Amino acid sequence: MIKYILIGILLISSLEGLKLHKKITKFNNVPKFKTLYMDQYLDHFNKRDDRTYKQRYLINDEWFNPNDGPVFFYAGNEGDIESFWNNTGFMFDIAPVFQALVVFPEHRYYGESLPFGDSSFDQDKIGFLSVEQTMADYAVLLTKLQQDYNLCRKKNPIIAFGGSYGGILAAYMRYKYPNIVRGALAASAPIYLTAGLAPSTLFFQDVTNDFDKESGCVPLVRKAFDAMENAAKQGDYKLLSAKFKLCNPISDAAGYKHLLLWMRNAFTIMAMVDYPYPASFLGDLPAWPVKYACQQLVNDTAKGVDILTSFKNLAGILYNDTSSCFDIYEQFIECADPTSCGLGNDAKSWDYQACTELNTVQETNGVTDMFPVISYNEELREEYCLKTWGVKVRKEWPSIQFWGKHIKTATNIVFSNGLLDPWHNGGPLTNLSDSLVAVLIEDGAHHLDLRGSDPNDPQSVKVARYMEIEQIIKWIEEAKNEPCDKF
């Protein structure tokens, strides 16, 4: 109790609250973890199917106080769980203060948690990949931890954390399993957009808005795309292949479209991870990559470098390949999610989820955004998903199953959003109740608040983290009114 009182005193005013930044544990390296595996049912909802798979999870109990330490649970999302462990330093900054048990379960069909190994992505095997099955995995794992560590809801409340899709899962865990999860920090969680409840031009308009903050940048981007279009109209794919130094030259309209998508993806990623320091989360990028890219584009063209070469140089900030050419087919995979599916096996799983439960139908029109017209609508999504995965899109299901915008019956969720993040308009931006709290970060990109504290952090993210800490304290104190039952 004393530690929470002390933290609470520091939070009384924003100025005093910021002093906590100097008291938080800071690690030179990411804390170590133990890697464990748990047998999970392949299908939690079909009681005639007893098949199981090995789910990987990471755990750290070095700070845990079983007498009154909470459980900090990260809702693993679309990738290898170690990557999220390495990029979610906020949890480790505060875990020693709260004396928390930290656990990161891996999402089924990602990383090492592949139910059928390399054949997990076959059409007859991938159907066990769903949000519902994943949340059931997490609920069962958390219940197992209750037994392993003799936890109870009064002394050891479970707080869910997550960023992006992980943030969506953290919120959904509070919706679905409030008996297990006491509260959730859902960072950069576009729950409205992925339920199909946002305009199809929203995301790329906000990518454009990020780059439009830099003087002279967007007009040059438009000029470069126009130059690409002029070359394509003349059938001069040889020129485009040479200017962009492609490993595999393009020769037709399909290749040209992939080049456009590859180029658009560079802007997407730089906008999402526009962090105030160098980072390697979605690519090795410099500090404030949007500003960096715009300044380079403006400077190159001012020096007389032709627009297409300047554009290629900009793409190289993200695709900083050490080879002499760019392999656009290795560096970008076209899929059901136009904002990017990533690469490798994880891209296959995300592609399937974008066809089944996560609606990311977004497109560019060249009017509200700086990109060429690349249409993507529900009809194109349905055609692609049926051809690729043999599934018929059920457009309404996400808003039925996960409540759409009608979430006021939920409690104890913080929805944090950085206003530099092109996803931010896809989720709640105002308080919906006393316990559904929106935290806005003026200078924050994609779930910056979940990253570890850094000397270059803007003031807005420092304030946001203390607002989040304040809510976590509130949830933990509320749990003390519960009987010390099992979950």
Give the whole-angstrom CA distance, residue 425 versus residue 419.
Answer: 8
What's the order of all strands across the beta sheet hosting 181-187? 34-41, 52-60, 101-105, 71-74, 158-163, 181-187, 413-418, 436-441
Q: Tokens 């410099």, residue? A: 286
Strands 52-60, 34-41: pairing kind = antiparallel
Q: In a 3-state reduction of DSSP, which class is residue 122?
A: coil
Q: How far is CA 61 from CA 93, 137, 277, in A?
A: 14, 21, 30
Nearest to 348 by CA among 380, 395, 388: 388
Question: Is 449 considered catalytic here?
Answer: no
Is 21 annotated as catalytic?
Answer: no
Residue 249 tokens read as 């030259």
* Distance set, CA 414 to CA 8, 163, 174, 360, 440 (Å): 18, 12, 11, 22, 10
DSSP 100: -
How far apart are alpha carbons 155 and 73 in whole angstroms? 15
What DSSP string describes 24-61? S---SSPPP-EEEEEEEES-TT-TT---EEEEEEEEE-
Catalytic residue among 113, 120, 130, 164: 164
User: 71 near 98, Cβ under 8 Å?
Assistant: no
CA distances from 159 to 23, 155, 194, 367, 462 (A): 21, 12, 23, 42, 20
Marked catalytic residue, from 446, 449, 457, 460: 446
Question: Among the options 369, 421, 449, 457, which is catalytic?
Answer: 421
Within 10 A of 3 (CB to CB), how many other CB atoms are there? 13
* Residue 239: its H or E element: helix 237-243
CB-CB contact of 267 with 294 (8 Å): no
Distance CA 338, CA 351 (A): 10
Q: Is 164 a catalytic residue?
A: yes
Cα–Cα distance for residue pair 71/73, rounded to 1 Å: 6
Alpha helices in 81-201 (DSSP H): 81-86, 89-98, 131-149, 165-176
Q: What is the DSSP string of 328-391?
A: HHHH----S-TT---SHHHHHHHHHHHHHT-B----B-SSSSSS--B---HHHHHHHHHHHH--
Question: Exposed, middle or buried by CB within 10 Å (0-12, 13-18, 19+), for 215?
Answer: exposed
**Which residues are tagged catalytic?**
164, 421, 446
